[in-house]
């Protein structure tokens, strides 16, 4: 049975891998894709998404642009995905052509609303980006919450962060949006950094993909090979291969992370994950702004005891119960990813 899915993306390198997976997997019915600024500018995100759909041989799908910036913060794109957000692949002849597809003229919020209303059953939303579009949807159209089966989001962490010591990039980029989505009442599933960083494809497998006669496999292989820059001023291999020597401290070594594609793996093969249900709150202030505070305590804490005894006006809302991924069978997901890419043209 196929699962109807809406994707919300900020198509950088790993979102592109996730789109390839979503198009290729036979149990995913991809209804449409909405785009938000995050890894790169909104215009780059939309064009990258359309290019990937072309290469994947996807059917005609609506792709709409949404929020240009977070709800409160200014735009702050990530430096790690290259100048174009797609690992600088658009500077190469094979991937330079602009997409033949047309961008849907609706705003992402309107496209989400229309597709949710048109669907005969509740839809799973897979959010691989800052959740600005989803927050706007649920604020403007709260009546649509029952039309969403659940929101499976790549974001947050029950341990360390990457954007800051405690905050993961997608949530850090727009913490107010993430808090709104969590508080909306829609069931949530968190595929966070605890598992995101574990699933990798071995370099020889990435080499085989990059050398494939199939365009979709070549794109996947090249994306897996992209060395993410550790410094905003670092030169990527695609920009200047002579500058990117093994001695460089600015370019990461091969990692082969499938990244956001792991969230799609979680959709079709949740049995490979260790998932625990915990209260989760998004921190909105101070040094820990953007942190997902995952309460893994086994006993009631002093905070709850004293809050019950001395309720006060303006107290923080209660954390929301979320399914949190904490461990993964990494080899199983790597194989699932490779097997799914093999189904693409």
What three-state secondary structure class fits 67?
coil
Retrieve residue 131's tokens: 């959740």
Instruction: Specify if 174 maps to a domain.
Output: yes
Lookup: tokens for 340: 């799914």
The CATH number of the domain where 145 resides is what?
Answer: 3.90.245.10
What whole-number distance in Å separates Cα of residue 45 and Cα of residue 15?
10
The per-type count for the chain, helices as H runs and strands as E runs, is: 12, 9
**DSSP letter assigned to residue 257:** B
Contact criterion met (CB below 8 Å) for 129 and 153:
no
Please give the tally of structural domains in the chain: 1
| The predicted structure's pLDDT at residue 238 | 41
Q: Is residue 227 part of a domain?
A: no
- Report d(CA 51, CA 58) in Å as an integer: 10
Phi-psi region of 88 (alpha: psi -120 to 50; beta: other; left: phi over 0): left
Q: How many CA atoms does the CB half-sphere of 237 hold within 13 Å?
A: 15
Please give the model's pTM, rounded to 2 decimal places: 0.90
Q: What distance, in Å, lies between the first and last C-alpha atoms of the chain? A: 22
In 75-233, the DSSP E strands lie at 123-127, 148-154, 188-191
Q: Which two tokens stand for residue 122?
A: 């509740």
Alpha-carbon distance 236 to 233, whole Å? 9
Contact 162, 193 (CB under 8 A): yes
Q: Is residue 208 part of a domain?
A: no
Tokens of 150: 């659940």
Q: Is residue 173 part of a domain?
A: yes
Cα(36)–Cα(136) distance, integer angstroms: 12
222 part of a folded domain: no
For residue 339, CA distances in Å to 24, 252, 295, 334 come to 9, 26, 36, 9
φ and ψ of 325, to 5 deg: -85, 135
The pLDDT of residue 243 is 37
Residue 250 pLDDT: 56
pLDDT for residue 237:
41
- Measured CA to CA, the distance from residue 314 to residue 207 in angstroms comes to 56
- Measured distance CA(187)–CA(43) in Å, rounded: 30
* Residue 207: inside a domain: no
Q: Which helix H or strand E contains 272, and what residues bound it?
A: none
* pLDDT score for 309: 59
Domain that holds residue 68: 3-199+256-341
Measured CA to CA, the distance from residue 326 to residue 331 in angstroms comes to: 16
C-alpha 133/C-alpha 275 separation (Å) is: 26
Residuewise pLDDT in 10s, the chain (345 residues): 899 999 999 999 999 999 999 999 999 999 999 999 999 999 999 999 999 999 999 999 999 999 999 999 998 877 788 888 898 888 888 888 889 899 999 999 999 999 999 999 999 999 999 999 999 999 999 999 999 999 999 999 999 999 999 999 999 999 999 999 999 999 999 999 999 999 999 999 999 999 999 999 999 999 999 987 554 444 344 434 333 333 334 567 888 999 999 999 999 999 999 999 999 999 999 999 999 999 999 777 777 666 665 666 555 567 899 999 999 999 999 999 999 999 999
Residue 127 lies in a domain: yes
Residue 221 inside a domain? The answer is no
Task: Determine the distance from the C-alpha atom of residue 180 to the mean position of all C-alpha atoms in its chain, rounded to a whole number.
Answer: 17
């Amino acid at each position: 049975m196929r699962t109807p899915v809406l994707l919300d993306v900020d198509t950088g390198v790993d979102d592109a891998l996730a789109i390839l997976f979503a198009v290729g997997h036979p149990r995913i019915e991809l209804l449409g894709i909405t785009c938000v600024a995050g890894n790169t500018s909104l215009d780059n995100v939309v064009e990258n998404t359309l290019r990937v759909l072309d290469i994947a041989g996807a059917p005609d799908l609506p792709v709409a642009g949404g929020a240009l910036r977070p709800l409160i913060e200014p735009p702050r794109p990530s430096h790690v995905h290259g100048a174009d957000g797609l690992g600088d692949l658009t500077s190469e002849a094979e991937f330079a052509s602009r997409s033949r597809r047309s961008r849907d003229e609706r705003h992402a919020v309107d496209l989400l609303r229309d597709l949710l209303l048109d669907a005969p059953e509740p839809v799973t939303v897979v959010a691989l980006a800052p959740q600005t579009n989803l927050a706007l949807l649920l604020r403007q159209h709260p009546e649509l919450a029952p039309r969403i089966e659940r929101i499976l989001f790549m974001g947050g962490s029950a341990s360390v962060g990457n954007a800051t010591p405690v905050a993961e990039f997608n949530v850090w980029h727009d913490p107010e949006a993430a808090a709104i989505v969590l508080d909306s009442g829609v069931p949530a599933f968190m595929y966070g950094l605890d598992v995101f960083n574990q699933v990798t494809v071995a370099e020889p497998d990435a080499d085989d993909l990059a050398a494939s006669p199939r365009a979709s496999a070549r794109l996947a292989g090249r994306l897996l090979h992209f060395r993410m820059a550790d410094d905003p001023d670092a030169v990527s291999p695609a920009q200047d291969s002579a500058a990117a020597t093994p001695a460089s401290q600015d370019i990461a070594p091969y990692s082969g992370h499938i990244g956001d594609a792991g969230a799609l793996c979680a959709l079709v093969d949740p049995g490979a994950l260790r998932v625990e249900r915990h209260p989760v709150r998004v921190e909105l202030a101070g040094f820990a702004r953007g942190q997902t505070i995952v309460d893994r305590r086994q006993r009631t804490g002093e905070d709850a005891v004293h809050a019950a005894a001395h309720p006060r006006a303006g107290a923080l809302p209660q954390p929301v119960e979320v399914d949190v991924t904490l461990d993964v069978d990494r080899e199983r997901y790597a194989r699932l990813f490779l097997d799914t890419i093999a189904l693409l043209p």
